[in-house]
Amino acid sequence: MNDTGLAIATLDVYETGNRSPQLEPTGVPLLLLFRQILEECATVAEAEALITRTKATTWANLAVCDSQGGAVFEITPTEVARRDANAAILPCTNHFRAAGLVVDTQCWRYDRLCAARSALKLDVKAVHGHLHDVNQGELTLQTMVFQPRELVLHVAFGAPPSSALPLKRLALCELLGEVRDE
């Protein structure tokens, strides 16, 4: 999350329905693109503009949110698809869901995250619970819940699945205070 509250999360993707190469060596490495987004963008719209004008090196899902909402960008070297929230929920896993990119719509984790739409209240504790419900055991190395309006990040990391651990609250406004004052 940057000092404006723009938060991003990346999820690796391992197959695509389009004919995009898995590696495009002439593209921009995604970690550099993601850093550029955090350095230069304050909104989802600004991030989208940067993503769509940049040729990527590989496949990824990038969840982006600001204080007004969010989107998931499904990225390949040849295409970028945007997905928006449905009933204030925007599930994202390691699979593409957009037309032309999706390979298989069967993903138990995605389906369980979609079920969060029926929740009466989605506070940090509830989101943490949903994330734990879809953990991947030894592969769940970190768990994060972002609150862009408040500039707060809740994070857990340690022995997997990290989603079973308590979240630590980080008030980023304190950590980013010097950046904001410049």
Question: Regarding beta strands 168-171 and 152-157, do their DSSP bridges make them parallel or antiparallel, or are they unpaired?
Answer: antiparallel
Q: Are residues 13 and 99 in the same domain?
A: yes
Among the three residues 78, 101, 118, which one is the final residue of a domain in this structure? 118
Q: Any idea how long the chain is?
A: 182
pLDDT score recorded for residue 71: 97
SS3 state of residue 127: helix
Question: Would you place residue 50 in the very low, low, confident or very high pLDDT band (cuts 50, 70, 90)?
Answer: very high
Helix, coil or strand: residue 59? coil
101 and 28, same structural domain?
yes
- 100 and 72 in a single domain? The answer is yes
- Domain ranges, residue 96: 1-118
The tens digit of pLDDT for each residue in 61-113 reads 999 999 999 999 999 999 999 999 887 889 999 999 999 999 988 999 999 99
Please say which residue of 118, 138, 158 terminates a domain.
118
Same domain as 110, residue 67: yes
Q: Are residues 112 and 177 in the same domain?
A: no
Q: Can you tell me which residue has the tokens 């949903």? A: 130
Structural domains of the chain, count: 2
pTM, to two decimals: 0.91
Q: What is the pLDDT of residues 16-45, one digit of tens each?
A: 999 999 999 999 999 999 999 999 999 999
Q: Do both 108 and 133 map to the same domain?
A: no
